[in-house]
């Protein structure tokens, strides 16, 4: 299979905005909260948007060899890549570890990373506790609406990047657009949601009891990752390149890359910001034009 362009799967969650329309995303709704750029998730599988396989899902046409050897180490396709537009604060939440999720949820947990594509002035990410805390204190602060007082609030700008291990309390703040690379799981324990109501006027479900079982209660000092290697964990390796000209994948893994800035051509396919391409194992993409890209492969 040749390098192909993928079509994002858009979601209209209540906190979404309109920025992703400027990144080439489309929706029948007025807002887009997320665009799932690379997904093998059931009923949300990435569609191919170029070449002879256009209109088919990537999952139905890709071979094991084209995914690469490293994918075989996992009993599931290991990553999910998203663009996320937080027009409003996202809920304060936590994801369990694989060990816990497999034992109690018949699912995998979620470790993830955020690369800030855009950030409004005075916008924040919320990552971890700013001091050592107890389960009892967290439980009390959830009830009296003071949970944010014990969290790290990190003012962010374009190009900032943070790694979020499972067990870390976190949220994307209003005005931030991120590229998220995560473990392939949709398992989230919502801890606090500002008293918001869903589309039907009902309070959104919280999962406090479960969250308290998986939270890391230790003080965290979040690190802003500014190297070319943004994340390198047991699931994925993520890198940032500016004005890349060639992306090559070896036999060990495919390479997926998302254009966060620029325009030009990938193997004669036009690209602009927001586009995601998939390079099969042993494949190559030749890029012409100015660009800033985020690449993902499997470790």
Domain match, 256 and 210 both = no
Which pair of tokens denotes residue 95? 């994801």
Number of residues that this document lists for the chain: 299
Nearest to 24 by CA among 40, 10, 43: 10
Domain match, 162 and 145 both = yes
d(C-alpha 67, C-alpha 252), whole Å: 8
Nearest to 275 by CA among 37, 97, 91: 37
Domain match, 281 and 198 both = no
- Model pTM score: 0.95
- Residue span of the structural domain in which 249 resides: 240-298
| pLDDT value, residue 136 | 96
Which pair of tokens denotes residue 139? 């439980």
| pLDDT value, residue 177 | 98
CATH number at residue 17: 2.60.120.10
| pLDDT value, residue 247 | 97
Per-block mean pLDDT, blocks of 10 residues, the chain (299 long): 95 94 94 96 92 95 96 92 97 95 90 97 97 96 94 97 97 98 93 85 89 97 96 96 96 98 96 98 97 97
**CB within 8 A of 167, min separation 6: which ones?**
94, 95, 96, 97, 214, 215, 216
* Contact assessment for residue 143 and residue 101, using Cβ atoms and an 8 Å cutoff: no
Domain match, 134 and 226 both = yes
Name the β-bridge partners of 37. none
Domain match, 264 and 116 both = no
Q: Which residues form the catalytic set? A: 190
Q: Please report where in the chains the tokens 């799967």 appear, as a residue.
A: 9
Q: How many domains does the chain have?
A: 2
Q: Please report where in the chains the tokens 């209660």 appear, as a residue.
A: 217
| pLDDT value, residue 170 | 97
Largest CA distance in the chain: 58
| pLDDT value, residue 276 | 98
| pLDDT value, residue 280 | 98
Domain match, 57 and 139 both = yes
Domain match, 187 and 58 both = yes
Q: Which of 231, 251, 269 is the last residue of a domain?
A: 231
Domain match, 261 and 202 both = no
Domain match, 193 and 63 both = yes
Domain match, 97 and 120 both = yes
Domain match, 152 and 58 both = yes
| pLDDT value, residue 237 | 97
């Amino acid at each position: 299979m040749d390098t192909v362009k993928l079509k994002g799967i858009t979601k209209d969650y209540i906190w979404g905005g309109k920025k992703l329309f400027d990144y080439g995303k489309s929706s029948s709704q007025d807002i887009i909260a997320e665009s799932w750029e690379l997904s093998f998730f059931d009923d949300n599988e990435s569609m191919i948007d170029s070449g002879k396989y256009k209109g088919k899902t990537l999952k139905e046409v890709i071979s094991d060899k084209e995914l690469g050897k490293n994918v075989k180490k996992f009993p599931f396709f290991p990553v999910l890549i998203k663009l996320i537009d937080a027009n409003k604060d996202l809920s304060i939440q936590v994801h369990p570890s694989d060990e816990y999720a497999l034992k109690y949820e018949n699912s995998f947990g979620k470790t993830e990373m955020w690369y800030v594509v855009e950030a409004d002035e005075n916008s924040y990410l919320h990552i971890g506790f700013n001091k050592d805390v107890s389960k009892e204190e967290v439980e009390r602060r959830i009830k009296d609406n003071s949970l944010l007082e014990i969290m790290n609030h990190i003012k962010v700008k374009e190009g900032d990047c943070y790694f979020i291990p499972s067990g870390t309390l976190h949220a994307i703040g209003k005005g931030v657009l991120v590229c998220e690379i995560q473990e392939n799981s949709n398992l989230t324990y919502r801890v606090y949601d500002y008293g918001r109501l869903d589309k039907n006027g009902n309070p959104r479900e919280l999962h406090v009891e479960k969250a308290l079982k998986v939270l890391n209660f230790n003080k965290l000092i979040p690190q802003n990752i500014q190297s070319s290697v943004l994340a390198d964990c047991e699931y994925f390796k993520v890198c940032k390149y500016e004005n890349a000209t060639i992306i090559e994948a070896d036999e060990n893994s495919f390479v997926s890359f998302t254009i966060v800035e620029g325009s030009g051509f990938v193997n004669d396919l036009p690209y602009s910001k927001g586009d995601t391409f998939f390079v099969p194992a042993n494949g190559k993409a030749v890029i012409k034009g100015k660009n800033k890209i985020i690449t993902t492969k499997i470790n």
